[in-house]
Amino acid sequence: MKSGFGNTKGSTPAFNPRAKPLKRPSQARAIFTVEAIYQAFVRIWQRDGWSGLTTREVALEAGVAIGTLYDYFPSKEALLSGYIRHALEGLLLDLEEQVVRANDLDWRTRIKRLIRLTCEPDEVRQPLFNHEVFVIEHQFTEPKHHRRLFQELSQKWREAFAACGDLPTQPTDVCIDAWVIMAWGGRRYCVTAQPTAEQTAAWLSEIEMMICSRLTSTE
């Protein structure tokens, strides 16, 4: 058997098949119910941690029947998977509304806002984007989920740059993809390494300077 970084057989943790949400809410009442479930989920996680969290307790906290919760989430891993996707959709919506559609911004302000929204840790918008989640994410996240998010983020970044009518030169898609990897990968590593606030601020400032300098380069 081959060994090394290219070999994943026997070393990749098994994905839990019950970690997928069963359906997404579409009607207003269902959306309200699932939002209440997510809010209860976050409160219990922050209070009791992952080990102390149960679907029954989440249902009780949210004021819904356990059967109603199971209509959407067959396990607490599925609930976490649904919540993470919900939070990331919120990030994409923020990028759309505050960056892409913000017609009153000059290109430097728009791009700096794009970088900040993508990279800056925000416990209010994404309270469970933390190290504890990363430790167990193999239970509810498959490689295709990471690829999909990368594609969605890259597309949103392309739209942001396209919205910069005053930008001297538009970057290529290859360049934008590289910046997304740099920005989002750096954010994930910050969650793991937990740098100080000063170190995080310096990292964000450096990314802004690198990208803005690249955009104004004549080479």
Please check whether residue 64 is in contact with residue 73, taking contact to mean a CB–CB distance below 8 angstroms: no
What's the CA gap between 39 and 58, in Å, rounded?
9
Q: Which residues of 27-47 are buried (b: 16+ CB within 10 A; e: fewer)?
A: eeeeeebbeebbebbeebbee
What's the CA gap between 144 and 75, in Å, rounded?
21
Whole-number pLDDT of residue 211 = 95
Matching residue, tokens 């918008």? 125
Structure tokens at 196: 């100080």
Whole-number pLDDT of residue 134 = 84
Amino acid at 117: L
Say whether 29 sits in a helix, a strand or coil. Answer: helix
Whole-number pLDDT of residue 9 = 47
Please check whether residue 52 is in contact with residue 32, taking contact to mean a CB–CB distance below 8 angstroms: no
What's the CA gap between 157 and 182, in Å, rounded?
13
Architecture of domain 17-216: Orthogonal Bundle (1.10)
Segment (H or E) for 119: helix 107-119
Please check whether residue 100 is in contact with residue 149, taking contact to mean a CB–CB distance below 8 angstroms: no
Whole-number pLDDT of residue 137 = 83
What is the reported pTM?
0.84
Digitized pLDDT (tens) for each residue of the chain, 219 residues in all: 433 334 444 444 455 656 788 888 889 999 999 999 999 999 999 899 888 899 999 999 999 999 999 999 999 999 999 998 998 999 999 999 999 999 999 999 999 999 999 988 665 666 677 778 888 888 778 889 899 999 999 999 999 999 999 998 899 999 999 999 999 999 988 888 888 989 989 999 999 999 999 998 844
What are the residue ranges spanned by the domains of the chain? 17-216
